[in-house]
Amino acid sequence: MDEFEPGKGHDYGTILIGVETRQPIDLLPDRTTSTVARRLANHPGVEVICRDRSAACVERVRSFFAHSQQ
């Protein structure tokens, strides 16, 4: 999981890349916690998430796993 900017002056989105294939899986229109959590919830087979160490990325992943365990 990483963030991308589609072009100068545009809002950031989230890109999901397969760890094994190193190919893009999905491009999400933004980088909000709710968008990432919704995408992950709709694909329950996700077992591992690789991400950068940004505080926002950490919070998105932490929030998803906190809600998915309830």
pLDDT tens readout for residues 18-66:
888 999 999 999 988 888 888 888 887 877 788 767 777 777 777 767 7
Supply the pTM of this predicted model. Answer: 0.71
**Cα gap 54→46, rounded to integer Å:** 20
63 is in which domain, residue-wise? 2-68
What pLDDT does residue 29 have? 92
Confidence of residue 9 (pLDDT cuts 50, 70, 90): confident
Q: Please give the pLDDT value at position 1.
A: 84
Neighbours of 4 (CB within 10 A): 13
The tally of domains found in the chain comes to: 1
Q: What is the pLDDT confidence band of residue 67, given thresholds at 50, 70 and 90?
A: low
Question: What tokens does 16 get?
Answer: 């999901």
